[in-house]
Amino acid sequence: MPLPVYDPATYPAQLAGKLAHFEQTFASLGVTNTVAHASTPLHYRLRAEFRIWHDGDRLDYAMFDPEAPKVPIALDTFPPAAESICTLMPRLRDRLAVSPTLRRSLFQADFLATLSGDMLVTLIYHRTLDEAWEAAAREMAAELGIMIIGRSRGQKRVLDRDWVLEEFELNGRQLRYKQVEGSFTQPNGGVNRQMLGWACQQAAGIGGNLVELYCGNGNFTIALAPLFDKVLATEVSKSSVHAAQFNLEANKVENVAIARMSSEEFSNALSGREEFTRLKDIDLAPFRHATLFVDPPRSGLDAVTLELARGFDRILYISCNQQTLLENVTALQDTHQIAASAVFDQFPYTHHLECGLLLTRR
């Protein structure tokens, strides 16, 4: 597939085509009146990664067309990237170009921005980074007003911190999120806010308790927690669990317990098949008749977690893969039906589409 063309004039038609494909795919399951949440047509990505191409004394950001993978496409800017990234790109490139210490063996630059103005740049090298590199990098970071991490094989040099702090308003609350470099975060900040708003809308008035699997850094957890009495969230990534715990404290959310375990482990614990010391201080009984929220990886829910899901009256399911979502929901058709559906266009100009379904017991 060649690199996409980023033309705002074509975006509405592209989104309409994605929505039509989604409704056609799920028509047999009763999906109708799906709500489509559009992205801004440009400057929507808060993450961007570029190869650094050396041509004599010149440095360029480069991407590669899959149809010609050895031919670099030099970039001065990148229309999908947040405006803050686009503004920084030429300034950073030009500053790197005049520093032999910073440019030598540099082969990649990764940008992580936030809606609220934080910026972290990771510079990746084919050499060991020494004190001279750190001194030069600190000087550049101060000049550009950014945070910098240096990486090489087996090495990570953090000059300030390896995370950004995202802040935005949602339903009258000011939410704060620690987002760690190298860990998963939602790439499209504007659409992420729409996803959180839709999830809160579906959960409003349900009450009771919430079980959340694959909670990550607490992106949905923080937004949904005030709508429930108690929340039990699980996540397997250690760095994401630490970020989620930071975010709970930063947002003064006190009704959430987080367990570091896989969805399959938690399924076995809740069903009583296994006991885990990680859950020894948590009473699982109140969560056996709760609402279930899942935002799994592209592989969807495994067989054990699907069986667990059958026991919940309501399931909120966010998916980045329509095929595994279709398979999972089809497997639940004997116990649950689709009560609401939405799509969220995290990646304009591509075939990718985030989907949301509310399932209720038949």
Catalytic residues: 320, 354
Which amino acid, one-letter code, is at 284? L
Which of 41, 21, 37 is CA-nearest to residue 343? 37
The answer to whether residues 292 and 305 touch, using CB atoms and an 8 Å cutoff, is no
Q: How many CB atoms are closer than 10 A to CB 197?
A: 14
Question: Which residues, listed in sequence order, are joined to residue 235 by a DSSP beta bridge?
Answer: 260
**How far does the chain reach from its first CA to its final CA, in angstroms?**
42
Helices and strands (H and E) in the chain: how many: 10, 17
The answer to whether residues 348 and 14 touch, using CB atoms and an 8 Å cutoff, is yes
For tokens 């087996």, name the residue: 154
Distance of CA 73 to the CA centre of its chain: 27
